[in-house]
Structure formats: structure tokens, C-alpha cells
Chain A
Amino acid sequence: MPDSVFVTGVGIISAIGSDVESVWSSLKEGRTGIGPMKLIDSAYKGELPVAEIYASNKELLGTALPRVKNYYSRTALLGMIAARQAIVQSGAGSESLENAGLISANTVGGMDRTEIFYKGFMSDKSSGRIREAAGHDCGDSTEKIADNLGIRGYLSTINTACSSSANAIMLGARMIRQGKLKMAITGGVDCLTKFTINGFNSLMILDREQCRPFDENRNGLNLGEAAAYLVLESAEEVRRQGKRILGEISGYGNACDAYHQTASSPEGHGAFLSMKQALETAGLGPSDISYINTHGTGTKNNDLSEGVAIERLFQDVIPPCSSTKSFTGHTLGAAAAVEAVLSILALQNNCIYPNLNFSVQMHELHFAPVTGFKTVQGMRHIMSNSFGFGGNNSSLIFSKH
């Protein structure tokens, strides 16, 4: 029997709050973070809503971060803030951090700084400050977070598009189960960039209004920015140090849809497989799941494919479902970690979050998402889905200890 993997700390910064408490009250009060673009410089200001963190890099820098430079990418800054919160809650000291692993996900690295650099570089190869381009790669923010927090045991960065941070949490859990690490700080981060706004816009899947996941008239997603991290520890460490357990990572699955580069298969094959695997690794059946925090981006294609897969796996007894992307926007590399933190909070508070902006049932599906904040009895296991381009589908299960 492999060792259990416990969550002992969580941290989050997103459009609905810059720490766990403020995120929690936004969720409880049904306050979305999706609104007009304010800080990001894009031609789509006033046209496309986003879930933006209304704090400039300068303000983020001021959030008591030691040894941080003003040219760091927003990705690195957000990551440091959320990872620090998680570490503080877990009570990890410098010695455990020295040997801990940091497994972080993101999809476009320090693209926000690259964009500043590249505009001039395009026409004049000698122009621009080179340090703006030095943090372009995905590994940069991971190393900056590690340096900022004194993590040195193991570093890894994952990019499987929109499912990235689910795979980071999965790897952390697996390394702890095999005794490779005692503590893993896992999660992900992405900031808003012109690159992703224009990329998703060129795919014509950005809603001009607030996204409406699982609604018959849904018309695309809203992009967001966030960072979220979870401190995972082995059962032995938790016992030894008498730590408070917030939840357990009990199941995980990773499967590939292998249908199309960007589109999900009509029968949701990859989604079905990743959810099924997650149940199997957790040793649970479909009826054990108390709530599904869906991928639910609000695009025509995703919600249909995911909905069909949920119906295939859960059949007649579909657990309450909702998409919290109606609060946080789609935060790409951070999405799965954001939803993991939300799942841990839901377990602790015995609640299910509303799926905002839902009004009309999808004609292809037999279930509708939960639309009001609900407190429930006997909440035990939460499933969280995250799917990405390339057919990268991952599912996680969080359980009460």
C-alpha cells in the first residue's frame, strides 16, 4: 500500500482575491473576477473581458518580497506570492525547504517581458534590454520562485498547455509516494499576455461577454491570470511534525484524447479515461465522488465533450458539477492548481461552488451545473478536471482525511 500524500498548505492569488481568505469570500458571495482589461496593454481593451489581477507589477513587488528585481516577469512575481502563502500555512522551515521539491507549471513562461523586448527587436536586432528576454523560458519562473523561497531539493517545470498544473500536482504526489521527496511544493502560474489573448482570439473561442460554462448559449472562454500552489507532504512527515492536514491527494489520471490538435473528441474519450484512471488510483467508484470541479471553459467544444464524458462515466448518478472558471477565468497553466486549491477549500468547508452565468440547459446533456453556493453534508471526495491542447487530459481527486 503506497504512502498517503497530504496537503498541508495552500496559496493562491487570482482575480477573485490575493489570498485564500479573500478568494473564499468571493466564492461564497458569488463575486466574479471577470471584468474589463485594466493593466494589460492590448488592442482588445474594452472589447474582451478578462480575469485580471488589478495590481501592477510594482504593487506586487511591494508585497514584501525579498531580493526581487523590477524586471522579473509577472509570472515569477505571482508564483512567488502564492507559493510563499502555501509554505507559510504548512509551517515549513528552511531546512525542509532546502530538501523540498518545487514542481511548477506554466504555459508561456516570461512572455509578458518577452513582448516588451520583441517589439523593438523585430525591426532592430540590437535594440531592447536583453534581460527582458532572459526570462522567456518556462523554467525561469520556477527557478526564481525556488531562489526566493530557498527550495533546492528538486526542480521541475511542466507545460502540457491547459492541464499543466494538474500534472505538476500528480508528479509531486507520485514522488512523495515513492519516497523520492518528503515535501513537494506543486502548482502553477500564468499571467495575462498579448500572446495568449491574441492566440485564443485567433481561434475565435473568446467570449465577448462573461463566459457561460455548460450553458446552451455559451460562446467561449475568458482568459485569466493566477498562481496557486499546494504543499504536499508524506504521511510520515505529517505525523512526525504533527502537522494539520487540509486534505489528501488520493487519485490522479493522465490520458490523451489523440483526436485533434485543438478540438476535443465528441465522445470525450480522453476525458473519460483520465477521470476513470483517477478513480482507479484512488480506489474509488463513481458514486464516491461528492462534487466535480469541471474543466468547463465555456467553449462549445469543451463543455460538450466533457459533459458527454461525465455522463458516460457517472451514468445515472451524476455528482453535483460546476465550473469555477466563471469566477477566475481560464488561467491556463495555473488553472488546475487554482481549482485544486478551491477543491481543498470546498472539502474543508463542505461546500459546492456555483457555476455563474448559467441559464439554459444544454440540449445534448441530461445534467445541469450547480448554480447557487451550496453547503452539503458528508463531503468526502472531489474530482477536478483539466484538459489541454494536444489532447492532454488530467484528472485529480482530493479527499478528506
Chain B
Amino acid sequence: MAVYIKEATAISPQNTFGAKVLPEEPATYTDVNMLRCIEPVYRDFIDPMVARRMSRIVKMGVCCALRCLRDSGIEVPDAIIAGTGLGCLEDTEKFLGSIYANEEKLLNPTPFIQSTHNTVAGAVALAIKCHNYNATYTHRGFSFENALEDALLQLAENPGLRMLTGGFDEVTPGSYEITRRMGLWKNHPVSNLSLEQYHTRGSLPGEGVAFFMLGGRKDAGDWAAIRSIQTFYKPASEAEVAQRISNFMADCGLKTGKPDLVIFGKNGDVTGDRYYEYVISGLLKNIPHVSYKHLCGEYDTSASFALWLAALMIKEQRIPSYLEGGKNLPRELNHVLIYNHLRGVNHSLYFLERC
């Protein structure tokens, strides 16, 4: 059974908000240590009285979800399902800081309330008075995939449903500092379009939000179809990864045996990119491939950006020239595979089809 992407919206370091065609030019960032989102005008979507309490990521999340709803012409979806690796960091740090700064006395409650991971999904429901299913997943590099799998399960039970599903994560100065000390990022400034050319350890942190309107029945104007998704945890070796991908493609029942294009989650970190290199030189040899993290940076739910990108490429039947690695690109995009992993631990596969 396939699930159809009816509509999608992304807020990212690129000009993606509300885009119905792929941006002609990429946003470039020179000598930076993180990529941050280009923020939309919130007051077009969120009442300022409501927005006044919201941190940046909550505003981005709610605004992106409401835009996706508006563009799909759906007032109240049958479910709101979100995925986030780290939740609402800014308010978490704010409340944690206030505990120590004030020795646990007279603390402002607002950052505590806003720090919970389900703030975005709850605030979207509140904004549109949606009493239907509401859930938030938060499992590192599986967060968005968990949310999507939940939507797919429910659509298998009832294809007529409309599920608003998305992913969000933010980078804050505090979280950057902590993850930098963990050795996740390059120890020198980076120009985003050259992310894969450094051949050093560490990646470039990023952030983003993407929401999708999903349904189980095909309509005219659908962007793309999700045939299947799969997650796998801590593979023992690159060979196991290749085996998993091979099994996944076989399960998807691909007639030609190969997708037209593979989108990889290469992030410029030589330690993690070896999984991609292994399948590029083996299992997926001679299949055109591109990668996307030079556009959005690395974050737990970055595959939601890749899904947005893939769906729009399939809809438009066009591969923008600024995607990394593009050689011998196909003229038609009928089947697209996305393979991403977070730190070699959380691996995910998506199989998309043209509608």
C-alpha cells in the first residue's frame, strides 16, 4: 500500500517556506559554524497574543504546520503527528538556567510549559481546535521516521484519513557548544556548498521543520507516493547496511531492480560518510545519486527535509543543479530511494514513487 503526499511545507536554511517549485538558487553560507532557518513572517499564521510565549522553534513548527494545512485546503486533519530529536531546546535551557540562577525559587513557569516535546503538536491542535489523534515522537535519528510510521499504520487501517505529519529540530548556541565538545562538528568554519569537499571529521549543524499532508488514496495533484519506509539500528558493518538496502528494495517490488535516483544523507564527516561510499561503490553502483545536507545541515530530523526535497523533485520531474554529487542525472524520476543515518546508529530508508 502506498501513502500519498498531498502537500508539503518546509522551513529551512533555504528559501523553502511555501515553495511549490524548487528554488532556482541555493542559499549560500560562507565561513559559518551552523546553518539556521530563514524564518517566515509569523503573524500571517499565528496570533501575536499566542505567539508571545512561543520560542523560535515552536513558532517555526506551528507556522509550518498551519501553512501546510492552509495549502492543502484542510481545516482539521484526522491526526497531528510530530517527530523531534531534541524538542524545544531554547526553553529547556532557559528553565534549567533559571533553576540555578534563582536557587530554585520564584521561577517563571512559561519556559517549563513550553519546553515539553509535544508543545508544537499541541499548539497546532489548539490553533485549529483539532480534537483528533495527537502524538509526538522523539528518538534521535528515528524521530521523524517514527512519526511517519505511525501515520502509515493508521492509513493502512483507514486510507481515507488525512494525517498532518512533520519533523522539527533547532540548534541553539548552548546546544551547539555541547555537541561541538562531543566532537560532532568540524573544528573550522565551513562554506555550506563545499561541505563534502573538506574530507575531515565532523559535520555542519543545521535545523529545520517540514510538515506533510498524507492520505491513503490517490488524488490529482499529489506530489509523490511513499511506497515504504524502514529504520534499522546500529548495523554491525557497511555490509549489513548494503544487505538491508538490498532487502528493502526487493520488498518494495521494484520491477527494474533499481531506483532512478538515490538521495544520500552525506554530511561531510568522513567517519559517517563511509556507509554511503560503501553502497555507492557497490550495491548502488552506476545509479545516479545526490545528497542534501549542504542545504540544511545535520540534525536529528533532517530526513524530513530530504523527503520534502524528493517529493518536490518528483512532482516537478526536475533535479536542481545545486544538489551535490549529481552526475548522469536521469530524465525521469519514477522511483527515488532516500538513505540517511545519524552518527552510524539510526539508519533510515524511504522509497518514493511518482504518482
Interface hits, A61-75 → B, CB 8 Å: none
B131 touches A159 (CB 8 A): no
Bin chain A's interface residue count. Answer: 35 or more
Chain A hits for B95, CB < 8 A: 195, 198-199
Q: How far is the CB of B57 from chain A (nearest CB, A)?
A: 15
A119 touches B157 (CB 8 A): no
Chain A hits for B156, CB < 8 A: 178
A260 to B129, CA, bound (A): 10
A258 touches B118 (CB 8 A): no
Closest to B122 in A: A390
Chain A hits for B125, CB < 8 A: 256, 258, 390-391
- Contact pattern, A 33-61, Cβ under 8 Å of B = 1, otherwise 0: 00000000011100000000000000000
Chain B hits for A260, CB < 8 A: 126
A118 within 8 A of B: yes
Chain A hits for B178, CB < 8 A: 121, 130, 133
Contact of A118 among B96, B134, B181 (CB under 8 A): B96
A367 within 8 A of B: no
Chain B hits for A161, CB < 8 A: 116-118
Given contacts A130-B182, A158-B137, A159-B87, contact A44 B104 (CB under 8 A): yes
A198 touches B104 (CB 8 A): yes
The 5 A-B residue pairs with the shortest CB-CB distance, nearest first, are A390-B122, A199-B112, A157-B139, A43-B104, A202-B109
B153 within 8 A of A: yes
Residues of A within 8 A of B (CB): 42-44, 107, 114-115, 118-119, 121-122, 125-126, 130, 133-134, 136-140, 142-143, 146, 152, 154-161, 167, 171, 174-175, 178, 180, 194-195, 198-199, 201-203, 254-262, 269-270, 273, 388-392
Name the residue in B134, B137, B177 with the highest tally of chain A Cβ atoms < 10 Å from its Cβ. B134
Given contacts A178-B156, A198-B107, contact A390 B119 (CB under 8 A): yes
Given contacts A107-B116, A167-B135, A258-B130, contact A143 B140 (CB under 8 A): yes
Given contacts A256-B134, A389-B113, A390-B118, contact A174 B139 (CB under 8 A): no
Beyond the given A256-B122, A391-B126, could you list 8 further A-B residue pairs with CB under 8 A, ordered by the A residue number? A43-B103, A136-B86, A137-B138, A158-B136, A254-B134, A258-B129, A258-B131, A389-B116
25 CB contacts below 8 A, A to B, read: A114-B96, A115-B96, A118-B93, A118-B96, A118-B100, A143-B345, A152-B234, A157-B137, A157-B146, A158-B136, A159-B117, A171-B150, A195-B99, A201-B107, A254-B134, A256-B131, A257-B131, A259-B126, A261-B126, A262-B113, A389-B113, A389-B116, A390-B118, A390-B134, A392-B122
A155 touches B116 (CB 8 A): no
B137 touches A130 (CB 8 A): no
A167 to B80, CA, bound (A): 14
Chain A hits for B150, CB < 8 A: 171
A288 to B345, CA, bound (A): 46
A203 touches B109 (CB 8 A): yes
Contact of B122 among A107, A119, A171, A261 (CB under 8 A): A261
Chain A hits for B191, CB < 8 A: none
A122 to B173, CA, bound (A): 12
A203 touches B136 (CB 8 A): no
Bin chain B's interface residue count. Answer: 35 or more
A119 touches B100 (CB 8 A): yes
A255 to B79, CA, bound (A): 9
B113 touches A203 (CB 8 A): yes
B105 within 8 A of A: yes
B113 touches A138 (CB 8 A): no
Chain A hits for B157, CB < 8 A: 174, 178
Chain A hits for B171, CB < 8 A: none
Interface hits, B161-180 → A, CB 8 Å: 174, 177-178
B104 touches A42 (CB 8 A): yes
Name the residue in A130, A133, A202 with the highest tally of chain B Cβ atoms < 10 Å from its Cβ. A202
Name the residue in B95, B129, B131, B149 with the highest tally of chain A Cβ atoms < 10 Å from its Cβ. B131
Given contacts A118-B100, A390-B116, contact A202 B139 (CB under 8 A): no
A255 to B133, CA, bound (A): 5
Q: How far is the CB of B171 from chain A (nearest CB, A)?
A: 14
A107 to B88, CA, bound (A): 12
A174 touches B153 (CB 8 A): yes
Closest to B110 in A: A202
Contact of A157 among B105, B138, B149, B153 (CB under 8 A): B138
Chain B hits for A203, CB < 8 A: 109, 112-113
Chain A hits for B119, CB < 8 A: 261, 390
Chain B hits for A126, CB < 8 A: 181
B142 within 8 A of A: yes
B131 touches A202 (CB 8 A): no
B133 touches A254 (CB 8 A): yes
Chain B hits for A136, CB < 8 A: 86
Given contacts A139-B85, A390-B118, contact A254 B146 (CB under 8 A): no
Q: How far is the CB of B200 from chain A (nearest CB, A)?
A: 20
